[in-house]
């Protein structure tokens, strides 16, 4: 073999070696080597939280949306529930066989909290170690030492996962009963009883929009308060109206869903916007607004340039 052939052969071997390093990365751990679980987030459709000092919570994924099954059968804030899946991406700092350790020492014999995915993938949360405040976590036959970014997420009240929307999304309102006023929608026209002075369809539409888009300042478990009045909202294709009770507790107002054992905290603006018709616009004001708009349009119209004159 000539010297040139030997050189070319050596280069081929070197190139092949480099390709092996790039493709297989010898000495580098796979990205998921230190993950606690191989369960993919996208495959989770049921979550259960169990806590020593709080009631259990269950969620189910229906048509791509997370709903709470218990203790409240209601829609959730999706991002809050999705955050409960972050544990599946966690890496660990150390792992130990559970058969070789005393679980009671790490508060894993009676865990502080537990999260269960798809009714079978169970993770128990124990205490933290003193130096780095890492959390001890039990899963299957191992105890893991992990960062403690997740534990607090499963300890909050069940209401912290609930949607703040007063009404289901995308539902059309066909009747509103608020204190001293009943509104009904028939073929696109609202009727009012008793009939307010200067009542218009726009007023009723605006009130319905306020209800459709209303999100409470907070959601909490039902407690007692001074009842001020009852409100019912009928939605299209729903036989049963949604019933609210307006409550006052000190200087704070709530809309309570007693059937669901929850209550929505209202802002001052919501008390104004949801409990009465918006003010009617007088016909004189409408005419003035139209006149002002026409005048503004004339002023904004460009003045035509004079036609060029022929040179003498």
Of the candidates 194, 200, 190, the one whose C-alpha atom is nearest the C-alpha of residue 179 is: 194
Distance CA 51, CA 68 (A): 16
For residue 115, what is the enclosing H or E element? strand 113-117
The predicted pLDDT at position 96 comes to 94
| Chain segment 211-263, per-residue pLDDT in tens | 999 999 999 999 888 999 999 999 999 989 999 999 998 889 999 999 999 99
| Chain segment 128-176, per-residue pLDDT in tens | 988 899 999 999 999 999 998 888 888 889 999 999 999 998 899 999 9
Distance CA 191, CA 173 (A): 13
Helix (H, G, I), strand (E, B) or coil at 140: coil
φ and ψ of 58, to 5 deg: -125, 140
Half-sphere exposure of residue 292: CA atoms within 13 angstroms, side-chain side: 6
| Chain segment 88-106, per-residue pLDDT in tens | 998 899 999 999 999 999 9
Band of pLDDT at residue 301, cut at 50, 70 and 90: low
Q: Report which DSSP code applies to 51.
A: E
Cα–Cα distance list, 35 to 29, 39, 96, 124, 145 (Å): 12, 10, 14, 16, 11
In the beta sheet, which residues pair with residue 221? 262
pLDDT at 19 over 50: no
Residue carrying the six token digits 């480099």: 18
Q: DSSP for 215-270, please give it.
A: B-SEEEE----EEEEEEEEEETT-SS-EEEEEEEETTEEEEEETTTTEEEEPPHHH
Band of pLDDT at residue 30, cut at 50, 70 and 90: very low
């Amino acid at each position: 073999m000539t010297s040139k052939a030997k050189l070319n052969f050596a280069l081929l071997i070197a190139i092949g070696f480099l390709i092996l390093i790039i493709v297989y990365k010898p000495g580098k751990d796979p990205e998921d080597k230190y993950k606690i679980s191989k369960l993919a987030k996208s495959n989770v459709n049921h979550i259960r939280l169990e806590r020593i000092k709080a009631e259990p919570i269950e969620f189910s994924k229906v048509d791509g949306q997370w709903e709470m099954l218990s203790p409240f059968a209601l829609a959730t804030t999706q991002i809050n529930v999705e955050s409960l899946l972050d544990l599946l991406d966690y890496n660990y700092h150390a792992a130990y066989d559970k058969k070789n350790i005393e679980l009671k020492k790490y508060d894993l014999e009676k865990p502080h909290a537990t999260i269960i995915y798809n009714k079978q993938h169970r993770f128990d949360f124990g205490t933290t170690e003193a130096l780095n405040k890492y959390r001890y976590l039990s899963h299957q036959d191992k105890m893991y030492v992990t960062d403690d970014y997740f534990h607090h997420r499963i300890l909050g009240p069940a209401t912290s996962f609930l949607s703040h929307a007063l009404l289901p999304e995308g539902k059309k309102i066909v009747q509103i009963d608020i204190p001293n006023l009943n509104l009904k929608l028939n073929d696109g026209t609202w009727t009012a009883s008793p009939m307010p002075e200067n009542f218009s369809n726009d007023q009723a539409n605006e009130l319905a929009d306020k209800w459709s888009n209303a999100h409470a300042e907070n959601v909490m478990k039902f407690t007692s308060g001074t009842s001020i009045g009852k409100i019912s909202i009928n939605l299209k294709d729903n036989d049963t109206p949604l019933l609210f009770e307006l409550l006052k507790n000190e200087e704070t107002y709530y809309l309570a869903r007693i059937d669901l054992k929850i209550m929505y905290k209202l802002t001052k603006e919501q008390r104004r916007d949801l409990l009465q018709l918006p003010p009617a616009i007088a016909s004189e004001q409408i005419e003035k607004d139209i006149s002002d708009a026409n005048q503004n349009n004339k002023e904004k119209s460009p003045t035509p340039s004079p036609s060029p004159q022929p040179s003498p």
